[in-house]
Amino acid sequence: MRRPDWRGLARDFALGAGLALGQAPLGLWPVAIVALALGLARISSALTAWQAARRALVFGGGHFCLALSWIVQPFLVDPAATGWMAPFALPMLGFGLALFWAIGAWVAARLRGGALGLAITLALAELARGHVLTGFPWALPGHIWLDTPLIQMGALVGGYGMTALTLLAAALPVALGRRGLALTALLALAAGGWSWHRLSLPEPAAPGGSFRIVQPAIDQALKWDPDLARDNFGTLIRLSLSGPPPDVVIWPETAVPYTVEPGNSAAVAIANSIGAPVAAGAQRVEGPLAWNSLVLFGPGGSFRATYDKIHLVPFGEYVPLGEAALDIFGVTEFSARAGATYSAGSQVHPVDFGPGLGLARVLICYEAIFPDEVASPGPRPGWMLQITNDAWFGTLTGPYQHFAITRLRAVEQGLPLVRVANTGISAVVDARGRIARDASGQSLLLPLGARATLDAALPGALPAPPYATIGDRPLILLLLAGLGALVRRVRAKR
């Protein structure tokens, strides 16, 4: 029996980790693009389809295990109860996601597509990863450009398109040698030209509305301690009163330490204490049902508007098949109808924040990582609001990656974005994905871990860019056409 090539597998894992170094916060894209090219060369030179799949699995495992190393942090919030799961969570997630790459590599090898065919199948694999089993499009290869001017490519082709172009740029020199390197250089020049064009557009007029971001920086281990609920609530109130009333005060995801219903004591306290409308992340309840919501509180603790999170986190906010377990077996522990988990919101809709601010597309936590779910039906909103609790993600890489991905949504939609996070990073982002500045040139950002507020005016929106209008449809058609060409070529040679 042939022994495994441990050195080769270690090389594949190291190359995948090299690709992960391009993700935020390091942003070492030169290292990442070289590692990607070498990884594609290794996979496309495999002698069999199964060898290609194995190399891609280990290459992808190296990438995801390093890029998503923050995933162990939620299990360490209560180490006595869940700490034992942390060592298993990272390899299971990392190599589970790498299975998409392994399947793509197997298909490319079966079709004898070489490095260029591999770029096509891996781009399709990343599209599938963003949708299958509710999807998880985090740490796409195209995300290595998010802290560079090339983030502007998102307005043209979106995050999946940036990933396809990145794979193509890395595959061309592998497939075509010096000619491929020249084509990669031309591709880089074209991307740079588009980015320069977008950055040179005139600044849009600001609508004039103002808001206050409240970043309470409450440790996740203390956030739901019932003995500290009153103190945590008081912290939010005190921070909200830090200056003249703005048009709206914004609290982060699940900031309210009590469940809220129209007119209950928590809602009344919020409405009566601030002197301005408050948009707060809260657990909204109706009977046994609860939602992870943004609530815009009105006079007397009424709800002027609500948005319920639609894309829930599997196992974190709901249990897959939990409703079926109730219907078939009578098991209540996993059912939203029995009050055990959150219910999903029923529809995407913009929230009206009144004169000056107008309509906004609200995103709660990781809803912002799904590019094809951001667009709102009906009138185009003037801005986006993300409330989140990145305290779950630790302090090393997770919050920075989440912030970078969220800035890409602003580029894709041509809309400014206001981000309000419990422990940070909170910021105002303009319609080109840049951190906005106030009239004095001060950056409108609250760093990770700071307990502070930020008063700002809403930046203006740009006209809807191509991606906001057409989405990923052209990319999917092009990739499927490329896959079809590979299939036809193989059949023609038979």
Residue 407, CA atoms < 13 Å, CB-side half-sphere = 29
Q: Are 247 and 210 in contact (CB under 8 A)?
A: yes
Distance between first and last Cα of the chain: 32
Catalytic residue flag (residue 126): no
Q: Distance of CA 97 to CAs 125, 136, 311, 333, 337, Å?
A: 10, 9, 19, 28, 31
Q: Are 431 and 459 in contact (CB under 8 A)?
A: yes
Residue 387 DSSP SS3: strand
- C-alpha closest to that of 9 among 57, 71, 80: 57
Q: Distance of CA 193 to CAs 142, 152, 452, Å?
A: 18, 10, 39
What does the buried/exposed string (b/e) look like for 188-205 if buried means 16 or more CB atoms within 10 Å of the residue's CB?
A: eeebeebbeebeeeeebe
Residue 326 DSSP SS3: helix
- Rounded CA separation 43/27 (Å): 24
Question: Among the options 309, 317, 367, 412, which is catalytic?
Answer: 309
The alpha-carbon radius of gyration of the chain (Å, integer) is 24
Catalytic residue flag (residue 253): yes
Question: Among the options 253, 317, 367, 412, which is catalytic?
Answer: 253
Backbone angles phi, psi at 382, to 5 degrees: -90, -10
Q: Name every residue whose Cβ is closer than 8 Å to that of residue 3 and which is 6 or more positions away in sequence.
A: none
- C-alpha closest to that of 169 among 150, 152, 155, 197: 150
**DSSP conformational letter for 435:** B
Catalytic residue flag (residue 65): no
| Residue owning tokens 């162990």 | 72
- Rounded CA separation 417/380 (Å): 14
- C-alpha closest to that of 56 among 119, 98, 24, 96: 98
- Rounded CA separation 352/280 (Å): 14
Active site residues: 253, 309, 365
